[in-house]
Amino acid sequence: MSKPEEIQKKKYEPFQNPKGVHDILPADQEFYTYIKKVVRHRARQAGFRRITTPIFEFAEVFNRSIGAGSDIVSKEMYVFEDKKGRSLALKPESTAPVVRSYIQNNMNQWPQPVLLFYIEPHFRYDRPQKGRYRQFWQFGFEIIGESDPALDAQLIQLAIKIHGDLGIADFFSLQLNTIGTPESRKKYAGILQDYYVGKERSLCEDCKVRLGINPLRLLDCKAEDCQILAQMAPQMRDYLDKESLEFHEELKGYLDEIEIPYVENQRLVRGLDYYSKTVFEFWDKEEGAQNAVGGGGRYDGLVELMGGQPTPAVGYAAGIERIIANMKREKIRVPSKDELHVFVAQLGNEAKKKCLNLIEDMRESGIKTMGALGKGSINIQLRIADKFKVPYSVIIGITEVREGVAIIRDMKKGVQETVKMDKVVPKLVKLIGEKNLDRYTPGELLYS
Ligand code: AMP
């Protein structure tokens, strides 16, 4: 047997995360927290209540709703089998799961419409590139149980309000269209297929496939040749049903009333099958659809398609990573609550014991406190305090323990004073200022 020291230590390669996913490091957490707070605040103001659906669902939930011909289902879904051979999928979006939950939990018995919002991670096997990830966060709103264009207008208004709070509203234009009822759309799809007869060779590979299963998608393809053909294609409006067109006019009237500008975009179709009537997206004013920040629309047929009673609905979802990218580009700063108030430096075992209690008291009072409680000299500890950019340090050495006092040091001014142990917390509270404390009661925390 070899001696322990002779055992060769294996050198491991460090792990990397899979392509298309990323860690949310502390500096970015501040953006996520801020965005979530804004969303929660605006959602509550408008009567929305939060829902969280599971990370995975039966794959059929998405196959049936989003549609087999959509990019999401045909190419981008993470599908796997569980141990009993059932087909499950990581959720690529949340409207279908929310509708599944609406039906399963008999939400049609709740006062209608049911207003729900979510802030959730989603998963798509997309080609990773700027603004496109395989795990990304969306917040979204669903209004289920009422059909009125005033609701579509209110939802758009809410989305813009949130974009405004986050400082990015001006960079996006609202693109608006109606895609009619499924019946009238089917008729138009047939017209489109006829139009493309003989033109297939000019289409991109994706559109050649889409033509048979989802011809409307050819209208918003980004490939140049496809765009040229789409521009000359028969116009959807000429084939849509009267009711959808009237609904659209009413919606525009409401948007005008609340002074929301929009771009009528007859080639906006959205990639998901479940939409009917209203569809809309917020496009980057410079980069267009490529960097849309969010999109939504009406899905009056979806509840029935998922096994419920016919129930009208409208929803919106926005991508949080794209919002953050825009905020960073514009150098929009979010309030940081991570900054510490106090660093505790100590020397000797007795001091360390005193510090444990003191640190606990400070935190309970809302003073954000860090105590490394290491073995370094006071000077070394104060240098650490400098690196953490704390405004104050509390220093307790052997003499201070003996005399029942502590030193409070103003790190910026480089001045310090000695105070009685039981006066340390009140003194710091005064120095830091009541409004800057991180104080909460658990009840408030629920709604913060
Ligand atoms: P969709 O419903 O697919 O239009 O998605 C709504 C919003 O979610 C988009 O406008 C993006 O902001 C965001 N989003 C969708 N897919 C991704 C992705 N793969 N990576 C990052 N954000 C995404």
Question: Whole-model pTM above 0.85?
Answer: yes
Assess whether the C-beta atom of 296 lies below 6 angstroms from ligand 1.
Answer: no
Look at residue 290 in the predicted model and tell me its pLDDT. Answer: 79
Q: Does the Cβ of 66 fall within 6 Å of ligand 1?
A: no
Q: Is 126 in the pocket of ligand 1 (CB under 6 A)?
A: yes
Of all residues in the chain, the percent with pLDDT exceeding 90 is 79
Ligand 1 contact via 293 beta carbon (within 6 Å) = yes
Whether 225 shows a pLDDT value over 80: the answer reads: yes
Q: Hey, which bits of 75-200 come out as E strands?
A: 79-81, 87-90, 114-123, 135-144, 172-178
124 lines ligand 1 (CB under 6 A): yes
Kindly give the distance from the C-alpha atom of residue 230 to the centroid of ligand 1, in angstroms, as a whole number: 23
CA 189 – CA 186 distance, rounded (Å): 5
Mean pLDDT of the chain: 93
> Could you tell me the pLDDT band of residue 448, with boundaries at 50, 70 and 90?
very low
Q: What is the pLDDT of residues 120-136, one digit of tens each?
A: 999 999 999 888 999 99
Residue 406: exposed, middle, or buried by beta-carbon count in 10 A (0-12, 13-18, 19+)?
buried
Q: Which atom of ligand 1 is nearest to the CA of 322?
A: 12
Kindly indicate the confidence band of residue 7, based on its pLDDT and cuts at 50, 70 and 90: low
Q: Cα of 401 to ligand 1 centre, how many Å? A: 58
| Closest-lying ligand 1 atom to the alpha carbon of residue 318 | 7
- pLDDT digit string (tens) for 376-405? 889 999 999 999 999 999 999 999 999 999
* Whether the Cβ atoms of residue 344 and residue 369 lie closer than 8 Å to each other: yes
Among protein residues, the one whose CA lies closest to atom 8 of ligand 1? 319
Q: How far is CA 80 from the centre of its chain?
A: 24
| Residue 87 structure tokens | 């087909």
Dist CA 420 CA 400 (whole Å): 9
- The stretch 422-446 carries a mean pLDDT of 86
- The pLDDT of residue 85 is above 80: yes
Give the C-alpha separation, 418 to 274, whole Å. Answer: 69
Strand extents, DSSP E, 27-86: 49-50, 56-58, 79-81
pLDDT of residue 8: 73
Q: Is any atom of ligand 1 closer than 6 Å to the C-beta of 122?
A: no
Query: Atom 4 in ligand 1: which residue has the minimum CA distance?
Result: 295
**Sheet of strand 56-58, all strands in order from the earlier edge strand to the far edge:** 56-58, 87-90, 79-81
Q: Is ligand 1 within 6 A of the CB of residue 138?
A: yes
The pLDDT value recorded for residue 429 is 96
Pull the structure tokens for residue 352.
Answer: 């360390």
Element (H, E) at 190: helix 182-196
Residue whose CA lies nearest to ligand 1 atom number 21: 132
Question: Per the CATH hierarchy, to which homologous superfamily does domain 26-181+241-329 belong?
Answer: Bira Bifunctional Protein; Domain 2 (3.30.930.10)
Residue with tokens 């099958």: 273
Residue 328 has a CB neighbour count (10 Å cut-off) of 12
**For atom 6 of ligand 1, which residue has the closest CA?**
294
CATH 3.40.50.800 matches 342-445:
yes
- Rounded CA separation 322/34 (Å): 14
pLDDT tens per residue, range 314-333? 999 999 999 999 999 999 99
Reported as a single tens digit per residue, the pLDDT across 291-311 is 899 999 999 999 999 999 999
Average of per-residue pLDDT across 432-436: 92
pLDDT tier at 374, thresholds 50, 70, 90: confident
In the reported structure, the alpha carbon of residue 166 is separated from the centroid of ligand 1 by a whole-number distance in angstroms of 18
- Tens-digit pLDDT profile for residues 182-197: 889 889 999 999 999 9
Residues 94-124 have pLDDT tens digits of 999 999 999 999 999 999 999 999 999 999 9
Ligand 1 atom 1, closest CA: 295
CA distance 439 to 16: 38
Domain regions of the chain by residue span: 26-181+241-329, 342-445
Q: What is the pLDDT of residues 205-220, one digit of tens each?
A: 989 988 988 899 899 8
- 315 C-beta closer than 6 A to ligand 1: no
Query: Per residue in 125-170, pLDDT tens?
Result: 999 988 899 999 999 999 999 999 999 999 999 999 999 999 999 9
- Ligand 1 within 6 A of 132 CB? yes
